[in-house]
Structures are given as C-alpha cells and as structure tokens.
Structure 1
Amino acid sequence: MKRSDIKRRPLADTVIATLEPEMKEYREHDGNSLYLRVRSDGNKSWQFRYKKPDGKWSWLGLGSYPEVSGSLARQKAAELRADAANGSNPMATKRARKAAELEATNSTFERLAREWYASKRKNWTDGTAVRTIGALELHVFPIFGKRIYQEILPMEWMEFLRSMERKGIIEQTSRVRGMCREIYDLARVTGRATHNPLEGLHKFLQTKPVENYAHVSLEELPPLLRAIRSYPSAPDIRIGLHLLSMLACRPSELREARWTEFDLGKALWTIPSERMKRRREHLVPLPHQAIEQLLLLQNLTGHYQLLFPGRSDSTKPRSNTVFLMALRRLGYEGRQTGHGFRHIASTILNEHGFEENHIEAQLSHVKEGVAGVYNKAIYLKSRTAMMQWYADFLDSLEKGNVVHGQFAKAPQLRAP
C-alpha cells in the first residue's frame, strides 16, 4: 500500500503491515505524536516526538515493527505523554522503565554475579565472602549491574577497569577483573553466553609486582615493639597488636577469634576450618607472653564471645582495618601492616636456623598434592618451642637485651 492511499488515522493494522517503502525513508503520523518510520529497505519502527526541557523537538524510539504492534506502540506513547504532562523527561522515564523490565529478568549482570557468588560462597571464609560481594557492590554493580550482560562490550569493560586504575587501586582492579571474568565463565559454560568479554584484557592493563606485605626491617623492629607496648588509644587493640607480632597469625584470624577456641590447659589456640584460608583447622601454640596478654584482654572482653567485639554490634568483630589503622596512628603507615608480622617472623626464624617445615606449618602454609597431606598437629612440639623462643627473642629486642633461650612455664588462662 502506498502512503498516499492512507485514508484514516490511527493507522489500521493492515495499513501498517502493507505500507510500501520509498526511495527515501519517511515517517507516517499515527496520531498523538506517534509516528511509524518506514526505511527505504522496508524495515519499520515506531517513534515518539517530544519536546525536550530546552524547548527543542526530538525523537524517541519505541521499538521495531512487528515486534512492537500498533496497539503496544500507542500504549507506550500514552505513557510518555503522561510523563511529559507531569513535567518528566520522556527519555529518562523510558530508561527507568527499561531498567525495571531488565531487573525483572535474569539477564542483568548483577543477577548473574549473585548467582556466581552463591555457587562459590560455600568454599570461602566469611572474610573472603564479605570482601568479594563488597567489591562487586561498590565498583561493578553501579556501572553494569542493571545491564544485560551479553550486551556489555569488551571496550566498556576495558574503560571501566582503566577508570579503577586511575584511582590507584591496582590490586583491587586485578581482583575485580578476575571476579568478573569468572562470572562470565559461568554464563559461558551454562550455555547463556558464547564468549567472555574480559578474556585477554589483562594484557592491556597495569600490573603490580608481587610484593610482601609492608614490614619494617630487623633494625626498625625494636622501636616498633616499644611503640606497640605504649599504644595509648585502646587497650584491646594494643593487646591485639602485641599478639599479632608474636603469633605469626593472619590479622583476620585474630580479629575474628572467639574465646572458646582457646584450650586453657594446653596453651593452644585452635582456629576452626571455616575461618582458615585453606579451610583446614589450625593449631597455634601460645607462648607464655601471649597467655599473659590474653589474661589482660579477658578482663576487657571475656564476657563477650569474641576477643575483639565490634563497638556497635558485639556479635560481630571489629573492622578489618582496625589493626592497620592502629599502626598508622603509631606512625607506621606504608611501613608495617598486620600481615607483615608474618613475614618478619618467617625471616627471623629462618635466619636463626629453625626447620623450614616447622616455620611453614606455623604459618599454615601447606603444599598441594600428596606431599601436602595436612595434619593439624604436625610438628606441634617443635613449633611450641620455636614460638616460645620467638616470643623471648622479641622481648629481648624490645628491651635491648640478648636472647638467652630460657623458656618460662606459661601461666594458666582462666575459663571465659
């Protein structure tokens, strides 16, 4: 049907279906600012004409025909006219409706990411789970969360990751890239995507050399130990720093520790598997200096389940930056971290001739494969003597004395 033969509006379904193209594309008015655009190749689509806030006229696409029928196009146009009458921008309201429609589907990146998170969560510690979902919610979901994941282009991911790099958070950028790549892998292996848009991007992004966590030199260690001993702000955090310095545990393991994990008669701390990085129960022998600190801490927090209960919610541990911020207050920002005490212990114990296997077992470093079959009590007797020597060594450094290798009997920690 030729456009010159149209007799009435709105356009009848038969007219829309049979309307012929011309040499140049044209728009045929359906009524109430709704137009049918007919391209020279015969493709047809719906457009809504509206006035922008600056007073200029513009076009807003409502979808292709026949996917969007005449009646549906008129319904969409009516919604946009109502929005305009209420002072809303039709373009903005159209985007909001589309976002709401996407949210109701399973095709958004956030939906896929949360599915991935749920499938991986059971193998993570609580700390890893919190950090992972926190990074996605902070960095990724505000940008791509409501987008259809199949439509996000590699160049968009590249620009997003480079914007993170420009903030100076190189390591976080690498972790986020790894998470998102795995999320797309889930879609690919389940038949919901044919390619991974993050594949190969690492070749064109910054990398940061692998570095040990910041730690002071042996020469700088004595003044650090004295600074910890005199930490003025919070006695529980002072004790926590002291324990970190002598036990070679991870900061999260200590920060999330519960009083029930400590064996009073054997001077042992048993870290349950769900809080360990490798999901394996770990024994930490306690030198008498550690038990003395625990006695002091028990007077402060022994009536709670946690050694370091949160200030606003005692059922949750203190912030994961609490020890790092304390070291900053002592003037060691960029020079010492809680995790860095592990490197210091490893260096000192290796330099003083202790067995490498004993040191690695104390740090809960386990080889993969048959050689790494895990025994939580492995080398426990030797590790107990080693860590008592190490606590005595730190005391001597702090006081400026020479280590004599005397091992005092540990006092008993009373029941919480």
Structure 2
Amino acid sequence: MAKVTTRLTDKEIKSAKPRDKEYYLFDGGGLRLRVKPNCSKHWLFNYYRPNSKKRANLTLGKYPDLSLAIARKQAQEAKELIVQDIDPQEDKKRKQQEHKAVYQHTFFNVSKEWFDIKQESVTPDYAVDIWRSLELHIFPYLSTIPVKDITAPLAIKLLKPIEAKGSLETVKRLTQRLNEIMDFATNYGLVNANPLTGIKAAFKKPKKENMASLKPDELPELINAIANASIKRTTRCLIEWQLHTMTRPSEAAGTRWDEIDLEAKIWTIPPARMKKGREHRIPLTSQTIALLEIMKPISKQREFVFTSDRNPLKPCNSQTANMALKRMGFAGRLVSHGLRSLASTTLNEQGFEADLIEAALAHIDGNQVRSAYNRTDYLERRIPMMIWWSGHIEEAAQGSLSVTGTKQLKVI
C-alpha cells in the first residue's frame, strides 16, 4: 500500500525548529520544505526529469516569502510542464534568460558595458565624444530595446535622417560604434551574430577632406593676426603653444604642469592623453619655455597650464583655439588641427627628414612590421628641427610682437 503523506499546515511550518543537520517536511506530490540549521526554510519540488528520468530538485523560494499556498500552486504548474515533457528547471532558466534579455540586456546596458572597456583604449576627450554621440543620436530611440531585437533595418531607419541633413561623417562614426557594440554583444553570447555588419553600405560615403590649413607663406599673416587679436592671454598662449609644439588640439589644451620637465627641456604627454595610446616626448625650445613662463603667474598653482575661464580647476576646451581662429577671420581657411599641417608642410619643404617630422607629429608608421621594430622617437635628432621651427615662427612675425615678446628678425 502506497505511503500517504499528511499535508503540511502553516502552524506546523512556523513551529518547525532548526536541528544540527538540515531536514525536510513533506507536503506530498514532490513538494517539500527544507529546514536548515541557520533557521532558514526553503521550498523544493522533487521530480523525475522527463528526458533522463533522474531525480532533481526545483528551488521554488524561501518561506515565509513564498507561502504554503503559492508553493503548492508552483508545484502544480511544474507537474503540468512534466506532463508535456518539459523540464521545470530548463523552463525556469529559459524564462530567466528572457527576462534578462528584456530588462538587463537592453541596448543601453550593453553599450555601457562596452564603453567601460572601450574608454580604456582611447583618450579621455575621444571617450567623451563617443558617449555624447550615442546620447544624442542613439539612446533616445534604442536604449530600452533588448539587443536581441536590434536589426539592420531599425538602425538604418534611425540614421537616415542624419544622412539627409548631410552629416555623413556623423553617420560613419555612428555605424562604426553601433557595430562595435553589437560585436561586443555577439562575443558575450547575447546575440547569435552581429546584425549590423555591412550597414554602412546603406549610406553615402563622406568625401575625405583635409583639415583646413594655411600655406607656408601665409604663416606671417597668422602670426600677425594672433599678435593683434582681441583674445585672452591664455588663449593666445595656447594657440602659439600648439603651433610651436605641433600637437593636436586636445593634447595642447590639456597640458599639465607635471608633464613639463624644464630642467631637461622636455614635455612628456602620457599614453592616456595620446590618440594612439603611446607616450609622446616633445623637446622644448626657448620660445615654448617663454610661453610657460608667461603662464606661470596665471596657472602654476593649478594642475593645468591652460586653465578654463569658467572653472580654473579644468583645462581649456579643446575647441578654444579653433573658435579663436574663427573670430580672427580664418573660418574656412584654418582650423586649429590644421596648424599641424602647416608645420608639416613647411618642414618638408625645408628638407627635414620625413621620419623626424612624423615623430614630431606623433604619427605611427602605417607599415605595421616597420612600426613594431622602429620604437625610437628620434628625440635628440628632433631638437634642431624644433629649434628651427620655433625660430621660423618668430621670424614670420614681420615686426609684430609674438606673445613671447620677441620681435621678428627677418622674413624667410
């Protein structure tokens, strides 16, 4: 005769005391309550797996959070699944995964995980640019959508209005970033494959344009404009600093006092601030040291050389020099990044070695094999070239005073 299990009561469950070892209270039909020595009580449903016919326990929940009545209801639901040859444990896992896909693995959450890794390999300014572009163009429309529901038509529809405005570079960058995020989702098993591969083919390609820059013989015009412009001294020093050092706008604007070694006459920009993530050393000339001397009374007590007007604890914006050049009348003719092209063109015309110029610009050799073996930055050999370049800038002043206070000698 089959053993008959007496059904549990709430009173019996509440009065169950812990023992040295865990034990069970049985309600019948596979439902049982596990009582642990630490006083906790958990509902379990014991059953035979439909496929293997092996015994297994399905954890239902903790008592009293899960009442006796609800535990019985969940046990009954599990039995109904077994009748359909569905394993209750596998069904529970499936539902948990579906819940994660909807509430945890949203496009925003996955993007945040991707960005936490991505920002370690790019400069802080570039990291800010990446996240802002997503906040502006992507998150308002895709943030709550599960990554598994992201499709190529959905992404293309989102980016088409941006293309229609003529912002082709923005579309290009966004397609790249969307693909990186979905590649990340694929690698972590959140989607089977990246559905956005190749979506760039759905958009017009932006025409490659060089940064607006002046010709070498227009340098005197630039120096004269800087000397006579109605701009703040910090901004004027920043533009000349960037011109002399041939650095990128963000690298120049973010110059820190602790990066400067006046005794060795070297400015060392750490990898975290460089576009290619490689330390960059720049020989300081008498003119660049003079610029630092001018900035000392303004910012030496601060972290950054070129401090922001609004918040002296922060550096100038990387666009400060660019906006000043526009106000000086160079809109369409010169952007601050173009100061590097001006320097490069001039130095090449003067016959300086290409390797020295490329090293001064912190360019990495496109030949990966050569780049791997050629680790030198030609620092010592760059010193005469940087001295010549600073002297050339001064001579281009045509009688105007540069911010360092040195009159021009002659026009080259």
TM-score under structure 1 normalisation? 0.69
- Tell me by how many angstroms 1:104 deviates: 7.7
| SS of aligned partner of 1:116 | helix
Separation in structure 2 between the aligned mates of residue 374 and residue 322 of structure 1, nearest angstrom: 37
Unaligned runs of 5+ in 1: 1-68, 70-100, 405-416
- 1:147-196 deviation line (CA, Å, top 9, x unaligned): 22222332221122121122332212211110001111111222221233
Separation in structure 2 between the aligned mates of residue 336 and residue 233 of structure 1, nearest angstrom: 17
**1:222 is matched by which residue type in structure 2?**
P
Paired residue for 1:372? Answer: 371
Separation in structure 2 between the aligned mates of residue 103 and residue 197 of structure 1, nearest angstrom: 16
Separation in structure 2 between the aligned mates of residue 377 and residue 299 of structure 1, nearest angstrom: 36
Residues 336-415 of structure 1 aligned to structure 2 (within 5 Å): 336-367=334-365, 369-373=368-372, 378-399=377-398, 402=410
Would the alpha carbon gap of residues 224 and 177 (structure 1) be closer, same or farther in structure 2, given more than 3 Å must change? same
Paired residue for 1:275? Answer: 273
Separation in structure 1 between the aligned mates of residue 318 and residue 163 of structure 2, nearest angstrom: 23
1:102–1:146 contact (8 Å) kept in structure 2: no
Would the alpha carbon gap of residues 403 and 266 (structure 1) be closer, same or farther in structure 2, given more than 3 Å must change? farther
Paired residue for 1:113? Answer: 111
Moved over 3 A (4+): 101-104, 373-378, 400-404
Unaligned runs of 5+ in 2: 1-76, 78-98, 400-408
Separation in structure 2 between the aligned mates of residue 295 and residue 332 of structure 1, nearest angstrom: 28
- Residue 180 of structure 1 is aligned with which of 152, 155, 178? 178
**1:349 is matched by which residue type in structure 2?**
L
Would the alpha carbon gap of residues 103 and 148 (structure 1) be closer, same or farther in structure 2, given more than 3 Å must change? closer
2:107–2:147 contact (8 Å) kept in structure 1: yes
- 1:5-54 deviation line (CA, Å, top 9, x unaligned): xxxxxxxxxxxxxxxxxxxxxxxxxxxxxxxxxxxxxxxxxxxxxxxxxx
- Overall identity of the aligned pairs, in %: 33
Separation in structure 2 between the aligned mates of residue 233 and residue 317 of structure 1, nearest angstrom: 17
**1:328 is matched by which residue type in structure 2?**
K
1:112–1:183 contact (8 Å) kept in structure 2: yes
Separation in structure 1 between the aligned mates of residue 133 and residue 140 of structure 2, nearest angstrom: 11
Residue 362 (structure 2) pairs with residue 330 (structure 1): no
Separation in structure 1 between the aligned mates of residue 122 and residue 216 of structure 2, nearest angstrom: 34
1:253–1:276 contact (8 Å) kept in structure 2: yes
- Residue 141 of structure 1 is aligned with which of 139, 142, 158? 139
Separation in structure 1 between the aligned mates of residue 307 and residue 246 of structure 2, nearest angstrom: 21
Point out the more displaced range, 144-153 or 300-309. 144-153
Would the alpha carbon gap of residues 378 and 201 (structure 1) be closer, same or farther in structure 2, given more than 3 Å must change? closer
- Tell me by how many angstroms 1:377 deviates: 6.2
Structure 1 vs Structure 2 CA RMSD? 2.3
| SS of aligned partner of 1:213 | coil
Would the alpha carbon gap of residues 399 and 383 (structure 1) be closer, same or farther in structure 2, given more than 3 Å must change? same
Would the alpha carbon gap of residues 124 and 267 (structure 1) be closer, same or farther in structure 2, given more than 3 Å must change? same
1:350–1:356 contact (8 Å) kept in structure 2: yes
- Tell me by how many angstroms 1:263 deviates: 1.0
Would the alpha carbon gap of residues 395 and 304 (structure 1) be closer, same or farther in structure 2, given more than 3 Å must change? same
Residue 120 (structure 2) pairs with residue 122 (structure 1): yes
